[in-house]
Amino acid sequence: MFCNGHRESKEDKVTIHEASSSALQLLVDYAYMSKVTITEDNATELMEGASLSFFQVPPVRDACIKFLSDNLSIKNCMKVVILGGMLNSNLETDALSYAMKEFAAACKTPEFLDLTKDQLIKLISSDNVSAPEETVYMSVMKWINHDTRKRKKEMRELMELVRFPFMDKMYFIEKVQPDKTLCKCCPDIVLETQKYHVFPGEVQSPRTRPRRASGLREAVVVIAGIEELPRYLHAVASFDGSIYVIGGRGADDLATSTVYRFSPGDCQWHSASDMPNKDNAVELLKGASFFQFEPVKDACTTFLSDTLWITNCLERINVANMLMDHHLETNALSYVMKEFTAVNETL
């Protein structure tokens, strides 16, 4: 600045707008004494001054970064996220990690509303956010409403990162569903949540991935028969934290209506109520088809196909045609062809 013929080298007085007078005084003192005292009150402005292109004091800048990282709190973490976003990506990362751990309280600070969209996305997209999903949703709405004119267009992208399926059902019904703007912007997300609350095992999306703070974990479970309980062609469903094996064929190669439930808590299989009999299997198939509950639908189709008889095959053709269940329809038609004479006599 003061060398190589720059304008400032010829002036008696130079005004530096980018740094505060107190920060500049500390930097001048450091230049003469090679030491500086960093406190909570001056760390931010001192770092800003030390990072300016015409000062460039890396030792002071690095010391400020370490001080701010070591002294993160609920009160200052969002401010440090913003500062780090402007001056140092490592500091931003440290502050974001702290904000995730203390999100429920940190999102209530005024600086939260000044985060950039990208910084907010980094926060709410993380599995490490430690807060109820209701809090995440409210914080996003608060951020949008702080500058609705500019931020309303970001609603869709942000709401895709809120894990609505893990909200309390009544909260979702009373607070989220009545929001006309949200329902208009994200109808598929609202429908997905409604379906998840009824049939959680049937919905898979990025929003059904639990955050670590929930205590839930994703797991892959392989279901197969064992010597004592051989079974194949069965349906499998996950519901309310348990795994159900439904119907199928047993060791005698005959259809079975038995149901077993696997409890992850004690890692044991338990007998459950048998599959519905032929009197109500049709009604269950209708319900499973309407709600698109595939495991139950498949199990009912298998059950109805395996229990075809002269007196019911035509009825099941009609049901299959109405529900567009091509598998059941094909099986029933094949049975009618095989028993055509006897079936014809029932008409």
CB-based contact 328:343 (threshold 8 Å): no
pLDDT in tens, 229-245: 677 777 777 766 678 88
Shared-domain flag, residues 208 and 285? no
Domain-located, residue 157: yes
Q: Give the mean pLDDT of 259-283.
A: 73
Shared-domain flag, residues 86 and 193? yes
**Which of 214, 244, 260 lies at the terminal end of a domain, its last residue?**
214
> Which residues contact residue 182 at a Cβ distance below 8 angstroms, ignoring those fewer than 6 apart?
155, 159, 176, 190
Nearest to 320 by CA among 331, 333, 309, 329: 329
Question: Cα angle vertex 343, ends 338, 347, to 5°?
Answer: 155
What is the reported pLDDT for 168?
92
* Alpha-carbon gap, residue 340 to 168, rounded angstroms: 55
Is the whole-model pTM more than 0.75?
A: no
Number of domains in the chain: 2
Domain-located, residue 65: no
> Which residues contact residue 215 at a Cβ distance below 8 angstroms, ignoring those fewer than 6 apart?
none
Domain-located, residue 38: no
**Which of 214, 235, 257 lies at the terminal end of a domain, its last residue?**
214
CB-based contact 93:70 (threshold 8 Å): no
Report the CATH number that the domain containing residue 164 is assigned in CATH.
1.25.40.420
**Which of 159, 190, 214 lies at the terminal end of a domain, its last residue?**
214
CB-based contact 313:339 (threshold 8 Å): yes
Shared-domain flag, residues 210 and 76? yes
Shared-domain flag, residues 85 and 181? yes
What is the reported pLDDT for 240?
65
Shared-domain flag, residues 85 and 176? yes
Q: Give the mean pLDDT of 162-166.
A: 94
Name the average pLDDT for the chain. 84
CA distances from 291 to 45, 82, 194, 202, 248 (A): 58, 46, 11, 10, 22
pLDDT in tens, 4-44: 666 655 566 766 666 667 777 777 777 778 788 888 888 88
Shared-domain flag, residues 205 and 307? no
* Alpha-carbon gap, residue 166 to 132, rounded angstroms: 8
Domain-located, residue 193: yes
What is the reported pLDDT for 35?
84
Domain-located, residue 255: no
- Pick the more confident residue, 16 or 119: 119
Shared-domain flag, residues 208 and 100? yes
What is the reported pLDDT for 148?
94
Q: What is the dihedral of CA 252, 255, 258, 262, to 10 degrees?
A: 80
Domain-located, residue 16: no
Shared-domain flag, residues 191 and 293? no
Domain-located, residue 49: no
Shared-domain flag, residues 78 and 206? yes
Shared-domain flag, residues 207 and 288? no
Domain-located, residue 136: yes
Shared-domain flag, residues 307 and 206? no
Q: Which domain holds residue 185?
A: 72-214
Shared-domain flag, residues 77 and 185? yes
Q: What is the dihedral of CA 104, 107, 108, 110, to 10 degrees?
A: 160
